[in-house]
Amino acid sequence: MVCLGNICRSPLADGLLKAKIEARQLTDSVDSAGTSSFHAGEKPDARMIATANSYGVSLSHLRARGFEAKDFDLFDRIFVMDKSNLQNVLKLARTEADRKKVDLLLNLSHPGENLEVPDPYYGGDEGFHAVYKMVDEATDVLIKQLEKNDG
Ligand code: 4NP
């Protein structure tokens, strides 16, 4: 799961998907990163931690890191939050196989629409709850795909 800072959107997608995987006792591994390393080493934004907590999801153990080309080797699928993240991740792709791993997260819940998870960083609390709803819907679709693959 990839966004810009790895402190708002992608940690939520990471923590929420991990919670869904654990609840179903699946074995898939999940991680998140930012296309910028500006916040590397930091916890998720306090507003994102509080929003996730209000839905019973803990994010406070996560720490930000930058996305690296080697992530293409470590992960089968790479979901980005917006089109800017998409461009930045694709710049690091080395092969067509790398490029094929990448998609906008909301194409899971809204196939082919190329919708973005908006950056909530400069807005109010309602933006964080809106992000939660979008990421929850998309990860619900993803978890069904992962259940099929495991089953
Ligand atoms: P994120 O949000 O990409 O969802 O983690 C942001 C976090 C920090 C900044 C921008 C977006 N920033 O400009 O520092």
pTM (2 decimals)? 0.97
Q: Is 3 a catalytic residue?
A: yes
- The alpha carbon of 47 and the centre of ligand 1 are apart by a number of angstroms equal to 12
- The alpha carbon of 149 and the centre of ligand 1 are apart by a number of angstroms equal to 33
Cβ–Cβ under 8 Å, residues 79 and 112: no
Model confidence pLDDT, tens digit, residues 119-145: 999 999 999 999 999 999 999 999 999
Domains of the chain, each with CATH number or no CATH = 2-150 (3.40.50.2300)
pLDDT at 151: 55
Model confidence pLDDT, tens digit, residues 79-90: 999 999 999 999
Q: What is the mean pLDDT of residues 39-45?
A: 98
Decide: 15 in ligand 1 pocket, CB within 6 A. no
Active-site annotation holder among 14, 45, 82, 119: 119
Q: Is 24 a catalytic residue?
A: no
Q: Which two tokens stand for residue 59?
A: 């994010």
Model confidence pLDDT, tens digit, residues 62-112: 999 999 999 999 999 999 999 999 999 999 999 999 999 999 999 999 999
Q: Is 9 a catalytic residue?
A: yes
- The alpha carbon of 53 and the centre of ligand 1 are apart by a number of angstroms equal to 19
| Residue 47: closest CA among 22, 13, 12 | 12
DSSP string, 76-132: S-EEESSHHHHHHHHHH--SHHHHHTEEEGGGTTSTTS-------TTS-HHHHHHHH
Active-site annotation holder among 8, 9, 14, 45: 9
